[in-house]
Amino acid sequence: MTQDAASSPARNRFVKTSLVVRKEFAEQLAKAVFFLMSVAMVAPLLAIVAYLVWRAWPVLSWNFVVDVPRRGMTDGGIWPAFIGTLYLVGISLAVSAPTGVLAAVYLNEYAKENWLNRIVNLAVINLAGVPSIVHALFGLGAFVYAARFGYSILSASLTLAIMTLPVIIASTREALAAVPASFREACWNVGATRWQTIRAVVLPNSISGILTGVILQVSRAAGETAPIMFTGAVFFKAVEKGQLLPYRLDEQCMALSMHLYTVATQVPNVKESIPYATAVVLLGTVLAVNAAAIALRVWLRNHKKW
């Protein structure tokens, strides 16, 4: 027997069988299907953004952002609405983020597993599914009339905070639950209290997950129209060009979402590119805030201690 003939059985042992070939084909097919699904989700989004930018391009500029509406909002810019949106999102975030995180810490770290805790969890889940128009009516009754804040930025911001609170609570609880129980036990074994463990170990290692809820909160708060229309947004507000603090908390304000609806449906003879430019600025503002939060989340995740 020659040496080649003796080594041929050893080589044949590494030949792919029909089962391996079928599995590899199925794997490649699944990979192609998932890739096409990803393209099917991303391509329409890119097409929509490109179409908006193309239609907005004639007026889209920095001057459009910092200028004020003119000639009955048929010309000019969106500065009052842009600043009003920052007011509403910033104040609602300042209220809902600490409240949501503290509520999630209590529910996940302190509350006992009993019927009351289950009812609270069910209420949080149901609150997340309530339509925005219902939140608007609640804000109208609770903040405008009952609390006597009137139609104001404060009423609108608190309504947005209530609306986005369940998302922050749910995402924070998931982030807290992802921290291994052994971390807590190690701290307790060296004499740390429950709060010291939460403050020094649990929260720092879950902050990247908590930011996920904040990102979702910003996106939803900036794009909602019904809650602010019922509680604090106004059709038009006279503001000086480039004024950084044009509103008081007890005043009504303009907002990008409502301004977009107004110029697109209620204002005759408006420049065709102005609604598209307003939509691009609103989308860009949300994306910029989300990108900053995502970058912070990635940085914190890369600096985790476990």
Q: pLDDT tens, 138-164?
A: 999 999 999 999 999 999 999 999 998
Cα 199 to Cα 262: distance, rounded to the nearest angstrom: 46
Taking the C-alpha atoms of residue 184 and residue 142, their distance in angstroms, rounded to an integer, is 40
**pLDDT surpasses 70 at 188:** yes
pLDDT tens digit string along 88-112? 999 999 999 999 999 999 988 888 8
Q: What is the pLDDT of residue 50?
A: 94
CA 24 to chain CA centroid, Å, is 39
**266 and 236 in contact (C-beta within 8 Å)?**
no
pLDDT category at 14 given cuts 50, 70, 90 is: low
Residue 55 has pLDDT above 70, yes or no: yes
Q: What confidence score (pLDDT) does residue 56 get?
A: 92
Mean pLDDT of 212-240: 85
The model's pTM: 0.83
